[in-house]
Chain A
Amino acid sequence: MSNVITDKDGVKRYLITLHVNGDEHTILVKGNTTLTNALRDQLDLTGTKRGCELGDCGSCTVLFDGRPINSCMKLAVEAEGHDIVTIEGVAANGELDAIQQSMINHAAVQCGYCTPGMVLSAKALLTRNPHPTEPEVREAIAGNLCRCTGYVHIVEAVLAASRGDLIPDDAKHTMAGGAK
């Protein structure tokens, strides 16, 4: 952190480089800028949501060196040199990740506010443990509060993604229901 600008009130701003979704971004932040705010307000990565801003709800979840953290509880200046993945970095080559597709298939998204964090927590889980049990899925998303779905469809979606079962539910109904 060699580049520091001090304003007339003595407040310092630091030129930092963040590695986000495989890209390097050099931005100017204050010492008290949270990672959430740097991502949203400076990099326009608004998929990372601001919810409680106190570490409880998980809507600001990002992957930090592959591990889920609440970005509202991390200073941007502390994120330099770490590999950050936001929800915008999950789909590759224009194709949704299996977890994202599965969330759609299982109607696991209602208002959607919890969804980016939910997907990233699930992504971290499946990367470490490709075939989790239901309790393992529930534990992995325990820090992601959802006020809409009741979690059942979300858990089903993650388990289906882990099985590689990505046939949409309505397609299954058509197959089961025959030629209706």
Chain B
Amino acid sequence: MYMPDYEYHAPGNLAEACALLGELGGKVTVLAGGSDVLHKMKIGSLAPDHLVSLKNLKELREIRYEQGRGVVIGALVTHDGIYRSQLLQEHFLSLPMAAHTMANTQITNIGTIGGNIVNGSPLADLPPILVALGASVKLVGRSGERVLPLEEFIVGPGKTVIAQDEILTEIVIPDQATTGSTYKKFGLRKSGALAVVSVAAAVTVEGGTITDARIVLGAVAPVPLRAKSAEASLKGKKVSDAAIEEAAAAAAADSRPISDLRGSDEYRRELVRVFTKRALRKAIDEGHV
């Protein structure tokens, strides 16, 4: 299996990389880990004229905590790096757990969080939990930088609002009042399976009352989908099986699944109901963020 010819570039730093991305003509693709890019070039769905590697941007491989900002994750941190991060395990355990549901070791050692986001696949495992945790992304281009909520960054299957000269540098998960969060994925095998349906939930429970809830559905819409009516149904309610059942049914109604080789739309909608229920239970009962 061979890939088309392209010109390979490895700029030495971020500024050089943005300048190069802005100057190059033709079809230009950024290369992080390459697990999606190489896959697409091999199956013939991507044939760039230029490939711009981020391998020299070492500063994008770090995870740190910044007072007042939250946890800052460099775009080139691998899924394995997320899974093993002590800092993330302490602050937002549900993200390492989500990274742990992905692919297999040989791919989680290659694939990066930035690639998982910019690739824009509705099946991707990290965006739902990141959106549930209110994460934002930082984009750096030739003429400056901008920060926007991840929820506004992915706009369709494989589509984001990134500009040709921009690089996603950081993902920030803000400090928050959330008392519990989780990511639940249903795949057809235990390992190496893409999501048929996934549900991320982040809840704030104070004295037995749900004061805030964010529920994000994966693989059942063109983008990671906020189940807004499910969220609204929970707010202000006491924790109870009935409240969770009601929210789960609302999430199923919010979802817009398609039928494909991994499941019919009907099956997916039922999975949304079951997995929303399980995700909410886990987020409420286990009480880790």
A residues near B (Cβ < 8 Å) are 1, 11-12, 14, 30-32, 34, 53-56, 58, 61, 64, 67-70, 72-75, 77-78, 121, 124, 139-140, 142-143
**Contact residues of B: prevailing secondary structure:** loop
Which chain A positions have C-beta within 8 A of B110? 55, 69-70, 73-74
Within the complex, which residue of A69, A75, A139 is in contact with B106, where a contact is CB–CB below 8 Å?
A: A69
Which chain A positions have C-beta within 8 A of B86? none
Question: In the complex, how many angstroms separate the beta carbon of A9 from the nearest chain B beta carbon?
Answer: 8
Digitize B242-265: 1 where CB-to-A-CB distance is under 8 Å, 0 elsewhere. Answer: 000000000000000000000000
Which chain B positions have C-beta within 8 A of A34? 3, 38
Question: In the complex, how many angstroms separate the beta carbon of B167 from the nearest chain A beta carbon?
Answer: 17
Within the complex, which residue of A14, A31, A140 is in contact with B5, where a contact is CB–CB below 8 Å?
A: A31
**Contact residues of A: prevailing secondary structure:** mixed
Within the complex, which residue of B1, B2, B31 is in contact with A54, where a contact is CB–CB below 8 Å?
A: B1
Contact count band on B: 20 to 34
Within the complex, which residue of A56, A61, A78 is in contact with B192, where a contact is CB–CB below 8 Å?
A: A56
Question: In the complex, how many angstroms separate the beta carbon of A72 from the nearest chain B beta carbon?
Answer: 8
Within the complex, which residue of B7, B39, B41, B107 is in contact with A143, where a contact is CB–CB below 8 Å?
A: B107
Which chain B positions have C-beta within 8 A of A78? 31, 34, 53, 55
Question: In the complex, how many angstroms separate the beta carbon of A28 from the nearest chain B beta carbon?
Answer: 14
Which chain A positions have C-beta within 8 A of B191? 139, 142-143
B267 at the interface (CB under 8 A from A): no
Nearest CB to that of A140 among chain B residues? B105
